A and B are shown apart, each in its own frame.
Chain A
Amino acid sequence: MQLQQLHTVWLQRLNMSLAILHVCGCPIPRFFGARLKRPRTLINLDPANDELPYECDIDVRELVNVEDVMNELELGPNGALLYAMEYIEVNLDWLITRIRRATAEFAVPYLFIDCPGQVELYTHNEVMTKITQQLTKALDLRLVAVHLIDSTLCVDAYRYLSAVFLSLSAMMQLELPHINVLSKIDMVMDHTDDLSFSLDYYAGVSDLSQLLWTLQTTRHPMSEKFKEFNRLIAELIEDYGLVSFEPLDIQDKECALRVLGRCDTANGHIMNSEKVEDPSDPVSGVRLFQAGFSDAGEFLDEYLERYEERLQQR
C-alpha cells in the first residue's frame, strides 16, 4: 500500500519494553518479526488492518474490529475507525494487561506496534496522542515515532517538501522523538533518471543549498510565488535538524537494521547494549562501534553495491 504510514517505537527503560508502531501493509514487522533475533512482542493496534502479513502476539482486532463497527453502527470507514480507536482508548487496560503478560519473561522487552494510517488521527484528533501518553505512563515506555513515506512519491523537490510537511505535521501532534523513513528506495533506484537530485539527499546527507537551488530552478509557477517561504522552510529544517530521512529497502537487511539502529538511538535502547547478546543486533557493542565510524555516504555506497548485485541476480 502506498499510504503514508506512521510508526512509533515504544521503549521502556530498565526491564521495560521497546515498541515500534507500525502501520498495516508495511513490511517492517514482517521483517523484524521473522529475521530479527531480538526478543520482541508484535502488537497490532490497527482495528482496520487487512490481512496481517506477520504473526502478531497481541491483536487489537480481538477487542474491536472496524468492519463490525461499520455494520453494527452503520458508520462509514472513517467514522468506524475513529470510533474503534476511541473505544480502545477507553478500554486501554485490555491492552496494558496483555502487554504486561507478554513481556513478563523478557529481560529487555521490545515492542513493535502496528498503528493505523489515517492522517486524522495524527492531526486534529487526539486519540492517538492520548493512547501513547497513557501507555507511556502505565508501562513506563520510551517512545519514538517512525514515519514511513513511499519514496517513489517524492521524486521531485516539491513532492519531497510535501513529505517533509507531512512529517512535521505529525510530529507537532504526537510530541515524540521522530524518525522519518523513505521506504521502497529500491524502486526509486530503478528510475534514477527521473530524480531531480541525487540519492544522497534521500540518505539524509541533506544539503540545504541543493534543495533550495532545485526548488528555485524548477520551472514552475509556484517557484516564484513561494520563493521566500521555501527559503524559510529550508532554513528551519537545517537549523533544527528536523526531518532528515532514512532510506529503506526492506529486502536489504543492512538497511532495515540501520533504521532499527536509529530507532534504538532515539528511544534509548542503546543504553541496554550490554544486555544484548546477539552480535548481529544493531544495539550490541560490536555494531555500535561500527556505526560510529560510518557516515551516510559510505552506507549509501555499500547499499548501491548490494543493490547492483541483486539486480544482476534477477
Chain B
Amino acid sequence: MAASSSADVKIPKSPVVILMIGMAGSGKSTLMHRMVVRLSKHKKVYTVNLDPAVRNLAYPVNIDIRDSVNYKEVMKHFGLGPNGAIMTSLNLFATKFDQVLNILNKRAENLDVVLIDTPGQIEVFNWSASGQIICDALAVSYPTIVCYVVDTARCVKPVTFMSNMLYACSILYKTKLPFIVSFNKIDVISHDFLKEWMEDFEKLGDALSRETSYVASLSKSMSLAMEEFYRNLRSVGVSAVTGAGGEDFEKAIQEACTEFQESYVPFLVEQRRDLEEKRKASVEEQMKTFERGLDRAKATNKRGRDTDLDQLGEDVQNLSIEERDYMMDCMD
C-alpha cells in the first residue's frame, strides 16, 4: 500500500470519499448519478461501482467491480445463488482493494470527490468482513463519509421510519464515520413530516400510538432516545430525479468533511498501523475462505470442471483492478 503504511504521512484533505449506502430501491444509484452530474460541473469527480449484480449504470464509472469479477461466473462455478454470489464477488474484490487505493493515490492530486456505489443488498456491505475491509482502508487514506439513502415515501408509517432509523444507527455504529442521511424522493413526498418527527419525539410518539399497540410503549421510550440521536445527525432531503436539495447535500458534505478533519483525523492517524494490520489479516482470512470454497467446489465437482476451477483460482490470484478510460470532464 502506497502512502498509508507510514504513520507520519497525514491523511490528505482531498479527495473526499463518499460511500453511498442504502437499501434496495432507495434510489442510491440514481442519486449517485444525479450527484455525479451536479458535482462535475465544478469539481473533479471519480466514481467506483461495488455492486456486482447491477445491470445498467446511468453514470460513467471509473472503477467497476464487474470488470474484475463476473458475478454470473461466480454463481456458476461455486454453485451459489444470487446472494452468495454477490457476497463472494465482493469478498474477492476486497482482497485486492489495495490496488484500488493505489489507483486513487495516483489520481488523488487531480480529484475532489470520489463517489462509491455499494451493493443493493445492504447487508452484503455492512455485515461482512469485506465491507469492513473496504471501509477501514478508505477511512485511513482519505476523508471518508457515509451517505445513507432513505426512501422517504417508505417512511410514512412511523414504525417503518423507526425501523429505518434504527438501521441507520446500526450502520453508523458499524462504520464509525461522519454520517449523512439523505431522504430521497422528496419529489414524491416532502420530508417535512420526518423533520417534525425527528425534532419532537412526542409527535412521533403520538403517531406511533395511533399505529400498532404491541410496540407502542417500546417505541415511545425509544423515540426519546432517538431524539438524542437525531440531534447529532446530519440529514438532508433530496430528489435524485429532479435534483432538488443538491445544495443542501453539498453543504452537508462540507460539514461532514470538516468533522472528519477535526475529530477523526487525529484518531485515525494513530490507529492507522493497527488498522492496517487488521486489514491485512482480514484479507488473508478472505483468501483462505475463498480457497476453501474453491476446494469444496472441486470436491463436489458440481457445475464447474476441475480445469475451469483451476483457472478461476488462478484468475483470482492474478485479479487485477482496472480503471476505465473516462475523461473526467466528459460527463453529460
Contact = CB atoms under 8 A, between A and B. Distances in A.
A206 to B, nearest CB: 17
Nearest to B157: A124
Interface residues of A, number: 59
Contacts of B154: 124
B122 A119 contact: yes
Tell me if B's interface is mostly helix, strand, loop or mixed: helix
B229 interface: yes
Interface in A206-225: 219-222, 225
B162 A161 contact: no
Interface string A94-128: 00000000000000000000000111101110000
Given A229-B225, A229-B228, A79 B173 contact: no
Contacts of B129: 2, 152-153
A221 B79 contact: no
Interface string B272-303: 00000000000000000000000000000000
A239 B164 CA distance: 23
Contacts of A158: 173-174, 176
Interface in B164-182: 164, 166-167, 169-174, 176
Contacts of B58: none
B263 A221 contact: yes
Most buried by A among B132, B163, B215: B163
Contacts of A170: 163
B215 A172 contact: yes
A214 to B, nearest CB: 13
B82 A70 contact: yes
A139 interface: no
A36 interface: no
A168 B215 CA distance: 11
A232 B167 contact: no
Contacts of A295: none
Interface string B8-26: 0000000000000001110
A175 interface: yes
A169 B81 contact: no
A159 interface: yes
B23 A123 contact: yes
Interface residues of B, number: 56
Contacts of B174: 158-159, 162
B120 A78 contact: yes
B299 to A, nearest CB: 13
B73 to A, nearest CB: 15
A208 to B, nearest CB: 14
Interface in B95-127: 120-124, 127
Interface string A223-234: 001101100110
Interface stretch (A48-56, A244-252, A260-268, A273-281): A48-56
A232 B228 contact: yes
Interface of B: 23-25, 53-55, 79-84, 86-87, 120-124, 127-129, 132, 151, 154-155, 159-160, 162-164, 166-167, 169-174, 176, 212, 214-215, 218-219, 221-222, 224-225, 228-229, 232, 259, 263-264, 267
Interface of A: 1-4, 24-25, 48-51, 66-67, 70, 76-80, 82, 117-120, 122-124, 149-150, 152-153, 158-159, 161-163, 165-166, 168-173, 175, 219-222, 225-226, 228-229, 232-233, 235-236, 239-240, 242
